């Protein structure tokens, strides 16, 4: 494995730009069409991309699909498609700025759940950071101030789902390769979305089919860049830069969709990011 941190950081920044662009397109399409249909079509392309990547590696599709823990891999894939549907719904109802501000709490949830799910030890420093981070989430949500909107819980649910998916991915990695997990994520996810999504099919305009094409390409490109990023650099060195997706996605929300960044959202997001960076740093110190 290479260890080129500078290249890894560049690839991670590019990844966040691509994924933020994907979120912008998802927000547009979800405002016009059913969220489940949009995610289903996106997953068809994703599954094709995953199978193409797997077929070019040693052993081909059979080697990529081989696993001793199919239930764990299937659960991971289904969690991820559920998380994506919930998050895109959040984009539709709340916008990119607030959704991403709340979603950035997922590394804190990973740290909090790593004990009960993986049996990892979480020290008092990380528990303190987790607590501070969720104070930031409460500042964003503003419970008790005016009329609290239940819609604000949607990105938090997505963050919980994504954190659980991430922990199951780490659990699966004890026996399976990343190529196997990637294969199951795309193929099982596509099957799951198709079973549900065909019942929500809607006609789509030619222009929006173009945007759907952009959504599919950015999804595949983003995953390719992320894979390359982790191939050339240590995850702990580049992971902090993943928070830039909050900046880029919020910029798209403000500049293109006319959203606004309320002061409580900015302050809360800053607290969440700082707490998340601290937990990443502590994990790196322990490693």
Tokens of 4: 């080129």
Tokens of 283: 């994990």
104, 163 Cβ separation under 8 angstroms: no
pLDDT of residue 236: 64
Q: Cα(first)–Cα(last) distance of the chain, in Å?
A: 18
Among the ranges given (119-133, 172-186, 255-269), the one the predictor scored with the smallest mean pLDDT? 119-133
**pLDDT(275) > 90:** no
How far apart CA 111 and CA 63 sit, in angstroms, is 32
How far apart CA 275 and CA 96 sit, in angstroms, is 21
**In-domain check, residue 143:** no
Give the single-character DSSP code of 204: -
**pLDDT(140) > 50:** yes
CA torsion, ordered 262, 264, 270, 276, to nearest 10 deg: -120
Strands (E), 95-220: none
**In-domain check, residue 51:** yes
Of 58, 69, 44, which is closest to residue 192 (Cα–Cα)? 44
Q: What is the mean pLDDT of residues 236-262?
A: 83
**In-domain check, residue 136:** no
Specify which of 12-16, 71-75, 226-230 reaches the highest per-range mean pLDDT: 71-75
Structural Rg of the chain based on CA atoms: 19
pLDDT of residue 147: 44
**pLDDT(66) > 80:** yes
Residue pointed to by tokens 């819980």:
153
Among the ranges given (34-48, 72-86, 115-129), the one the predictor scored with the smallest mean pLDDT? 115-129
**In-domain check, residue 68:** yes
Burial class of residue 16 in the structure, from the number of CB atoms within 10 Å of its CB (0-12 exposed, 13-18 middle, 19+ buried): buried
Give the single-character DSSP code of 239: G
**In-domain check, residue 275:** no
> Could you tell me the pTM of the whole model?
0.86
Q: Which domain holds residue 117?
A: 5-127+149-260
Residues of the chain with pLDDT > 70, as a percent, come to: 92
Q: Which residue has the higher pLDDT, 114 or 23?
A: 23
Q: Which residue has the higher pLDDT, 151 or 30?
A: 30
| 71-90 per-position pLDDT tens digit | 999 999 999 999 999 999 99
4, 218 Cβ separation under 8 angstroms: no
Among the ranges given (54-63, 83-92, 136-145), the one the predictor scored with the smallest mean pLDDT? 136-145
**pLDDT(17) > 90:** yes
**pLDDT(203) > 90:** yes
**In-domain check, residue 194:** yes
**pLDDT(190) > 70:** yes
**pLDDT(188) > 90:** yes
| 143-185 per-position pLDDT tens digit | 554 445 678 889 989 999 988 988 888 888 888 888 888 899 9
Of 74, 38, 85, 67, which is closest to residue 187 (Cα–Cα)? 74
Count of structural domains, the chain: 1
13, 242 Cβ separation under 8 angstroms: no
Among the ranges given (1-15, 31-45, 205-219), the one the predictor scored with the smallest mean pLDDT? 1-15
20, 245 Cβ separation under 8 angstroms: yes
């Amino acid at each position: 494995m290479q260890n080129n941190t500078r290249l890894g950081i560049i690839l991670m920044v590019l990844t966040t730009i691509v994924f933020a662009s994907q979120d912008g397109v998802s927000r547009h399409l979800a405002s016009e069409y059913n969220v489940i249909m949009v995610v289903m079509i996106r997953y068809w392309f994703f599954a094709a991309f995953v199978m193409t990547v797997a077929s070019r590696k040693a052993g081909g599709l059979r080697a990529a699909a081989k696993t001793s823990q199919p239930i764990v891999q299937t659960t991971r894939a289904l969690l991820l498609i559920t998380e994506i549907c919930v998050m895109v719904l959040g984009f539709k109802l709340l916008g990119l700025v607030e959704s991403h501000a709340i979603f950035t709490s997922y590394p804190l949830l990973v740290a909090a759940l790593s004990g009960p799910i993986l049996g990892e030890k979480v020290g008092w420093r990380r528990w303190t950071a987790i607590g501070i981070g969720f104070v930031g989430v409460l500042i964003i949500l503003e419970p008790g101030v005016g009329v609290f909107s239940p819609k604000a819980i949607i990105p938090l649910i997505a963050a919980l789902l994504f954190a659980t998916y991430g922990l199951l991915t780490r659990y699966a990695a004890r026996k399976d390769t990343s190529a196997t997990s990637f294969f199951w994520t795309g193929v099982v996810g596509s099957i799951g979305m198709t079973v549900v999504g065909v019942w929500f099919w809607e006609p789509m305009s030619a222009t929006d089919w173009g945007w759907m094409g952009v959504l599919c390409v950015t999804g595949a490109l983003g995953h390719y860049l992320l894979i390359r990023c982790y191939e050339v650099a240590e995850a702990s060195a580049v992971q902090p830069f993943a928070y830039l997706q909050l900046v880029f996605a919020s910029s798209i929300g403000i500049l293109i969709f006319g959203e606004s960044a309320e002061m409580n959202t900015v302050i809360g997001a800053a607290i969440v990011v700082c707490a998340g960076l601290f937990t990443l740093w502590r994990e790196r110190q322990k490693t």
